[in-house]
Amino acid sequence: MTSEYRHTPVLLAECLEQLTLQTQHTFVDATLGGAGHSFEVAKRLGHEGTLIGIDQDEVALAAARKKLESLPEQTRPALELLHGNFGELDGLLTSAEVPGIDAILFDLGVSSVQIDTPSRGFSFKEEAPLDMRMDPSTQTQTAAEIVNTYNAADLTRIIRAYSDEKWASRIADFIVREREKEPFETSGQLVEVIKAAIPASARRAGGHPAKRTFQALRIEVNSELDVLRRGLDAAIRWLNPKGRIAVISYHSLEDRIVKDTFASMANRCTCPPDLPVCVCGKEPILKVVTRKPILPTPEEIESNPRARSAKLRVAQKL
């Protein structure tokens, strides 16, 4: 584990603008990390506000607490830092005993610290155990278990669906064939098999050949898309009227879920389109604030390459 949790918050100024925070507000950082966003949010909430931070990484929680408690006590909001996954948002917010929330932020994906900690097994650039669990204290299934036990059809399905990998079927076949000789234990073993599966001509473009497969395995290990759907639904329920939800996503699967969830909550009518008036009674719950996602500036991408694929979407509770 790293002793210093460094993280440059993505789209920070844009998030602060869109969240429209005021003193006395209750804000939830559903993906607290090293408190990069929350540190600046805390300054806006002031002593009368409440900041609830959620993370499934104990290292992140400890680093975030240290950073947030460095703010002057007389101007610092009430802090409630919770160990858990935002898919459990209902239970976590119930335990925090808050009646409702005024703003919530999701900064999705794996953190740079998790990637840079070899023992976590997220990186295709480091030799490490094939783990990829975001919360090893509660999760049992690892990436190694998936590549060693899933059949070729299931491996193809998750690699293709979760990463849009053109060579998914071939990579799955190579994995199944190779594990018959020796089970996969490390990231390095898997990287070599992926390289062998993808033709040399295809490896010359599009970045590291293992990037997409590693992304797919990480999503499968952590059930990230199902967790996101549960987290968004819960967050919208907990928002007070005029409260805002902001979500930063980093790949098309996440962004599509966010976009579709916001759209479905903003247009809930199920009446046939030829009816002159609505009779179903399903009133909209949200107003979509960002019809198109907010993207990072070229200057931010240059200073923080992690921001390159980021998209920010915002909605407001009616």
Which residues define the annotated binding site for S-adenosyl-L-methionine?
35-37, 55, 86, 107, 114
What are 245's strand-pairing partners?
A: 104, 315
CA distance 234 to 36: 23
Residue spans of beta strands (DSSP E) within the chain? 26-29, 50-55, 78-83, 101-107, 239-249, 286-288, 311-317
Number of other CB atoms surrounding residue 38 within 10 Å: 27
Query: Distance of CA 89 to CAs 30, 49, 265, 316, Å?
Result: 8, 20, 18, 18
| Binding region | 35-37, 55, 86, 107, 114
What are 27's strand-pairing partners?
A: 51, 103
Tokens 């119930």 sit at which residue?
94
CA distance 253 to 67: 32
CA angle 176, 178, 180 (to 5 degrees): 75
**Which residues does 118 contact at the CB level (< 8 Å), separation at least 6?**
126, 127, 128
> DSSP readout, 56-84?
S-HHHHHHHHHHHTTS-GGGPPEEEEEES
